[in-house]
């Protein structure tokens, strides 16, 4: 059962907006964390803000945002400082040092959360872990005179805006703060992320910048914990930036893309959780926060597989294309050698396929050679076309030049050089070939120079 | 308090004793296995796989409920069923981390991959839990206790399982001690020697999975990682030898479990997992502060002693200079000029201190003189410094005007026998 517009505006819109704003904030900060190889610190801070929050609740006895942010910022800074201390004195790796600090702090937070005074604030550790996204509603309050939204236009009326839920306003404020901070500190963040030594030498203060970044992450965690909980915040800090990283190299593009992908995950995840089961015929909705995390994971998986330059699929295809090219060149070289040895038996397709290793690569190589008109086929025999002959000549020349070079200059034994030359010949540029030729020993007379096996080295093919 | 004492001495009833011993066994196993994982730098993988257990628990429950509805005689809430699901997705989590690393190398570093698996699997677990909540009319069927732990619900059978797992880990680590040790410290060498490094790593992670999965009930999945990391890190402060570190990690883990569970039993509102981890953290802090060689206090004391010795050496040289600076050789030194000369060296080189050390003795006239011991010490300090200056000028091409400062730095950091060698090297007559 899909909701009406006014139902949607009152029960779902605020949650979607809050989740989206949190996701964008975390994605922007997470991009820098990923580049600075501090993704773990984001994980650590999101666990470690818990005692800060709990202390703030207990001391202020309210869910007022200001003490929460103070507590979280303090916890964030404390985590970074303690991690540094532990790293310096404990003889363990940096990741484990952080693990000691944040797991101990999280335990402290769980303990504080179970104290009786927490019951007044109506919050428990479970809420903090998973958030309460579904309970963020936009409803008017007759006491304060605010109204619930009923149409899209009514969203902009002051009475309705006054009823906007606290979590949405907090998320918006933190998002704005983060965007401002990143815009203002963009140059410094960029330099200190890519070259901390240079940043230090140029007079930027990488230490202060690091602390500032950690404080921003802590604030984002606080804003987000009410939406998606402190552990699922990690999903938003890591997955969209990682996906953006697979798709582009430019920092600005990464920031934009990670924000976009995070927003996409938030919206799609919420819709899937709230309305997906209904579409499938079940009368229920599942955890929105959980679904959002799952969607960030799915987006990352898609990016890893399908990214245009670094994706798994593209890399496999490139490798396949290279294998076909090499097999095709091997075919031409084979035909040349056959021709040179003045053998009476032509090369049949079956033999060629077997010699190239069989399988789809061999078949594709044969096809490719014919399509490029390097090889002509009469019934079941293969022969080089003139273009094919020229290319094959160039290949054999390179091969034999390499063999000569390996024996004369690198001291290889003549019976060891064939395999190496076979590998190298496919990757030799004309410049390298002329260097190889220049280093060959001069021959007396007009006869062609010989390779270590006594075969003549062909002239460069006339283009 | 008397309550706590009774609990600690296992006099407070069968249930409490069971919980105490069970959690202690868990702590011991976690400490032992975690020590190897820590040394192998795989400690945080435990965090990822602990969070990855949640969807397995929920899925196992759903599957078992469906099977029971179809007539199969299986109890969805039984521990073996849930833990089997937990183990399966934990292993899946490990594979996913490796898969991400391989597929996205080098653009996504390992800690990011761990964060991805940790959060996405956990989120999937929450989705499944919410399905269970709908099906079980509003309750999560008690499955949420696996997130933060509920040791109080431990039965004798569960405690026996924990003890068995502890024994199994001990056995495995003893049998594979040599292999694990080599793989932790020099896996490249192990590989060249033909040892099955990948298989050993898999075995190690399997032990981590087993310990994590049985620890879910006691301390919960979020905090199990703490038991795997904190006791071994604490043990590292006490020793450099692997055997000692393993033993200490096991003991600290067991002690954290024991005391933590006792405290949690004594005060009903306290969550067990959190208290156990905080006990471990206390042991960590104590180790960090008081361990005899690598502890912070020991280091500070050593540094302080070194600073005092350096100040004393410099003071002796200053006194020597002062004594030689007077036009007529006199062993008596005027108090005022002595004070001025020693002002730079702080309290450890003050006049009363030097008198107490037997370097100076006061004269009735108010000035001081060097004792015979003091004369020897001052001469030695000056000799040391001048030797190093000579060496730096003669062999290290440092201009003479610049020599005093580096000599100051070197002379305190090297052995005394080096000085004799230096003398011989410079062809100076021995003093």
* Residue A92 belongs to domain with CATH number: 1.10.3470.10
**3-class DSSP state for residue A59?**
helix
pLDDT band at B334 (very low <50, low <70, confident <90, very high): confident
CATH number of A346's domain: 1.10.10
Interface test with A, best of B51, B127, B300 (most A CBs within 10 A): B127
Interface test with A, best of B35, B120, B270 (most A CBs within 10 A): B120
pLDDT reading at B2 higher than 70: no
- The answer to whether residue B431 is domain-embedded is no
Instruction: Please give the share of chain A, as a percent, with pLDDT higher than 90.
Output: 28
Residues B68, B126 within the same domain: yes
Query: Are the Cβ atoms of A90 and B120 closer than 8 angstroms?
Result: no
End-of-domain residue from the set B234, B261, B290: B290
Residues B216, B350 within the same domain: no
- The answer to whether residue B430 is domain-embedded is no
Residues B192, B141 within the same domain: yes
Query: Are the Cβ atoms of B123 and A297 closer than 8 angstroms?
Result: yes
Q: Which residue has the higher pLDDT, B35 or B409?
A: B35
Residues A101, A239 within the same domain: yes
End-of-domain residue from the set A308, A335, A365: A308
Residues of B in contact with A40 (CB under 8 A): 44, 111, 114-115
Residues B275, B363 within the same domain: no
Would you tell me how many other CB atoms lie within 10 Å of the CB of residue B329? 7
Residues A322, A371 within the same domain: yes
**Element (DSSP H or E) covering residue A375:** strand A375-378
Q: Return the top range by mean pLDDT from B56-60, B140-144, B222-226.
A: B56-60
**3-class DSSP state for residue A382?**
strand
CA distances from residue B214 to A206, A457, B207, B218 in whole angstroms, order as listed: 43, 71, 11, 8
- Out of A40, A43, A90, the one facing B237 most closely (by C-beta) is A90
pLDDT band at B52 (very low <50, low <70, confident <90, very high): very high
**B78-87 pLDDT per residue, tens:** 888 888 999 9
Residues of A in contact with B223 (CB under 8 A): 103, 106-107, 110
End-of-domain residue from the set B290, B306, B337: B290
Residues A243, A135 within the same domain: yes
Q: What domain range includes position A82?
A: 5-308
Q: What domain range includes position B351?
A: 298-425
Q: How far is A462 from chain B (nearest CA, A)?
A: 43
Q: How far is B166 from chain A (nearest CA, A)?
A: 22
Interval A354-375 mean pLDDT: 88
pLDDT reading at B34 higher than 90: yes
Total of domains in chain B: 2
pLDDT reading at B222 higher than 60: yes
Residues A265, A346 within the same domain: no
pLDDT band at B97 (very low <50, low <70, confident <90, very high): very high
Residues A295, A364 within the same domain: no
Interface test with B, best of A44, A110, A119 (most B CBs within 10 A): A110
- The answer to whether residue A347 is domain-embedded is yes
Residues B307, B283 within the same domain: no
What mean pLDDT, rounded, does chain A reach?
86
Residues B325, B254 within the same domain: no
Residues B131, B227 within the same domain: yes
CATH number of B316's domain: 1.10.10.10
Q: What is the pLDDT of residue B328?
A: 65
Give Cα A93 distance to the centre of its chain. Answer: 25
Q: What is the pLDDT of residue B141?
A: 62
**Phi and psi dihedrals of A382, rounded to 5?**
-110, 145
pLDDT reading at A441 higher than 70: no
pLDDT band at A123 (very low <50, low <70, confident <90, very high): low
pLDDT reading at B1 higher than 70: no
Residues B85, B192 within the same domain: yes
Residues B189, B210 within the same domain: yes
CB distance from B263 to chain A under 8 Å? no
Phi-psi sector, A62: left (phi>0), alpha (psi -120 to 50), beta: beta
pLDDT band at B378 (very low <50, low <70, confident <90, very high): confident
CB distance from B233 to chain A under 8 Å? yes
Instruction: Please give the share of chain B, as a percent, with pLDDT higher than 90.
Output: 30
Burial B356-386 (b: 16+ CB within 10 A, else e): eeebbeeeeeebbebbeebbebbebbbbbbb
End-of-domain residue from the set B233, B264, B290: B290
End-of-domain residue from the set A340, A369, A384: A384
- The answer to whether residue A213 is domain-embedded is yes
- The answer to whether residue A233 is domain-embedded is yes
Q: What is the pLDDT of residue A444?
A: 55
pLDDT reading at A463 higher than 70: no
Instruction: For B300, name the nearest residue in chain A, comparing CA atoms only.
Output: A89
**Element (DSSP H or E) covering residue A56:** helix A39-60
Residues of A in contact with B236 (CB under 8 A): 90-92
What mean pLDDT, rounded, does chain B reach?
85
DSSP for residue A449: P
Residues A47, A73 within the same domain: yes
Interval B48-74 mean pLDDT: 89
Q: What is the pLDDT of residue B431?
A: 58
Residues A83, A27 within the same domain: yes
CB distance from B108 to chain A under 8 Å? yes
Query: Are the Cβ atoms of A89 and B148 closer than 8 angstroms?
Result: no
Residues B42, B104 within the same domain: yes
- Out of A107, A294, A312, the one facing B127 most closely (by C-beta) is A294
Residues A21, A110 within the same domain: yes
CATH number of B58's domain: 1.10.3470.10
Interface test with A, best of B47, B115, B150 (most A CBs within 10 A): B115
Residues A340, A298 within the same domain: no
**A66-117 pLDDT per residue, tens:** 888 888 888 888 988 898 889 888 888 888 899 999 999 999 988 888 877 7
Residues B70, B91 within the same domain: yes
**A185-229 pLDDT per residue, tens:** 998 889 888 888 888 888 877 778 888 888 899 889 888 877 778
pLDDT band at B4 (very low <50, low <70, confident <90, very high): confident
CB distance from B92 to chain A under 8 Å? no
pLDDT reading at B281 higher than 90: yes
Instruction: Please give the share of chain B, as a percent, with pLDDT higher than 70.
Output: 97
- The answer to whether residue A289 is domain-embedded is yes
Residues A176, A324 within the same domain: no
- The answer to whether residue A241 is domain-embedded is yes
Residues A45, A174 within the same domain: yes
CB distance from B236 to chain A under 8 Å? yes
Total of domains in chain A: 2
End-of-domain residue from the set A273, A308, A343: A308
How many residues does the structure list for chain B? 431
Residues A287, A343 within the same domain: no
Instruction: For A301, name the nearest residue in chain B, comparing CA atoms only.
Output: B100
Q: What is the pLDDT of residue A214?
A: 87
**Phi and psi dihedrals of A378, rounded to 5?**
-120, 110
């Amino acid at each position: 059962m899909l909701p009406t517009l006014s139902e949607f505006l009152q029960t779902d819109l605020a949650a979607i907006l809050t989740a989206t704003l949190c996701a964008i904030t975390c994605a922007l900060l997470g991009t820098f964390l990923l580049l600075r190889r501090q993704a773990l610190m984001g994980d650590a801070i999101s666990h470690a803000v818990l005692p800060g929050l709990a202390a703030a609740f207990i001391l202020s006895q309210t869910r007022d945002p200001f003490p929460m942010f103070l507590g979280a910022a303090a916890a964030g800074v404390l985590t970074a400082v303690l991690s540094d201390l532990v790293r310096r004195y404990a003889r363990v790796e940096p990741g484990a040092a952080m693990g000691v600090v944040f797991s101990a702090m999280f335990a402290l937070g769980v303990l504080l959360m179970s104290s009786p005074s927490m019951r007044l604030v109506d919050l428990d550790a479970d809420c903090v872990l998973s958030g309460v996204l579904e309970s963020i509603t936009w409803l008017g309050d007759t006491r304060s005179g605010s109204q619930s939204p009923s149409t899209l236009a009514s969203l902009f009326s002051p009475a309705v805006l006054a009823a906007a839920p606290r979590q949405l306003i907090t998320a918006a404020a933190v998002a704005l703060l983060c965007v401002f901070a990143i815009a203002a500190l963009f140059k410094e963040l960029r330099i200190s992320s890519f070259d901390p030594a240079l940043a230090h030498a140029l007079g930027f203060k990488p230490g202060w910048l690091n602390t500032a970044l950690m404080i921003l992450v802590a604030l984002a965690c606080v804003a987000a914990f009410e939406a998606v909980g402190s552990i699922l915040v990690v999903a938003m800090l890591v997955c969209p930036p990682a996906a953006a990283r697979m798709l582009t190299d430019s920092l600005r593009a990464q920031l934009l893309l990670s924000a976009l992908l995070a927003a996409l995950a938030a919206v799609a995840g919420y819709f899937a959780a709230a309305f997906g089961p209904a579409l499938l015929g079940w009368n229920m909705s599942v955890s929105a926060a959980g679904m959002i995390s799952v969607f960030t994971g799915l987006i990352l998986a898609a990016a890893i597989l399908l990214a245009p330059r670094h994706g798994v699929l593209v890399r496999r295809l490139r490798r396949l294309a290279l294998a076909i090219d090499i097999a095709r060149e091997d075919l031409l070289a084979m035909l040349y050698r056959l021709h040179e040895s003045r053998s009476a038996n032509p090369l049949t397709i079956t033999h060629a396929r077997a010699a190239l290793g069989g399988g789809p690569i061999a078949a594709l190589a044969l096809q490719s050679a014919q399509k490029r008109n390097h090889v002509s086929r009469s019934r079941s025999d293969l022969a080089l076309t003139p273009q094919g002959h020229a290319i094959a000549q160039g290949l054999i020349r390179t091969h034999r030049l390499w063999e000569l070079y390996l024996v004369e200059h690198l001291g290889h034994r003549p019976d060891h050089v064939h395999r190496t030359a076979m590998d190298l010949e496919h990757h030799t540029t004309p410049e390298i070939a002329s260097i190889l030729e220049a280093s060959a020993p001069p021959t007396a007379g007009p006869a062609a120079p010989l390779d270590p096996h006594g075969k003549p080295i062909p002239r460069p093919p006339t283009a | 308090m008397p309550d706590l004492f009774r609990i600690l001495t296992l006099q407070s009833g069968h249930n409490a004793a069971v919980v105490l011993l069970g959690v202690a066994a868990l702590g011991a196993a976690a400490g032992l296995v975690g020590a190897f994982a820590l040394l192998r730098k795989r400690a945080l993988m435990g965090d990822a796989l602990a969070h990855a257990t949640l969807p397995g628990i929920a899925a196992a429950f759903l599957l078992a409920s469906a099977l029971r509805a179809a007539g199969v005689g299986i109890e969805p809430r039984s521990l073996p069923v849930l833990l089997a699901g937990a183990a399966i997705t934990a292993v899946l989590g490990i594979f996913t981390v490796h898969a991400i690393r391989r597929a996205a190398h080098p653009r996504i570093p390992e800690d990011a991959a761990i964060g991805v698996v940790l959060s996405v699997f956990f989120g999937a677990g929450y989705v499944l839990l919410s399905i269970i909540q709908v099906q079980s009319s509003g309750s999560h069927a008690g499955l949420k206790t696996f997130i933060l732990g509920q040791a109080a619900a431990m039965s004798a059978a569960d405690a026996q399982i924990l003890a068995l797992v502890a024994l199994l880990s001990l056995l495995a680590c003893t049998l594979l001690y040599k292999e694990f040790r080599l793989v932790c410290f020099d896996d490249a060498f192990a590989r060249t020697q033909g040892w099955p490094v990948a298989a050993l790593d898999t075995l190690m992670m399997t032990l981590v999975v087993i310990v994590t999965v049985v620890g879910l009930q006691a301390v919960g999945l979020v905090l199990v990682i703490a038991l795997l990391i904190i006791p071994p890190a604490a043990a590292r402060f006490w020793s450099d030898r692997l055997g000692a570190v393993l033993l200490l990690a096991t003991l600290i883990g067991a002690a954290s479990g024991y005391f933590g569970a006792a405290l949690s039993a004594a005060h009903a509102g306290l969550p067990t997992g959190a208290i156990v981890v905080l006990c471990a953290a206390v042991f960590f802090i104590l180790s960090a502060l008081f361990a005899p060689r690598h502890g912070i206090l020991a280091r500070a004391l050593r540094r302080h002693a070194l600073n005092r010795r350096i100040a004393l050496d410099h003071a002796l040289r200053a006194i020597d200079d002062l004594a030689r600076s007077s036009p007529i050789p006199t062993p008596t030194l005027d108090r005022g000029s002595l004070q001025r000369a020693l002002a730079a060296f702080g309290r450890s080189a003050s006049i009363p201190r030097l008198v107490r050390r037997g370097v100076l003795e006061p004269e009735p006239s108010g000035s001081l003189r060097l004792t015979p011991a003091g004369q020897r010490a001052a001469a030695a300090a000056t000799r040391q410094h001048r030797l190093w200056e000579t060496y730096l000028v003669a062999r290290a091409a440092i201009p003479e005007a610049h020599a005093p400062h580096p000599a100051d730095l070197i002379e305190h950091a090297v052995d005394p026998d080096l000085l004799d060698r230096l003398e011989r090297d410079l062809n100076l007559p021995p003093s």
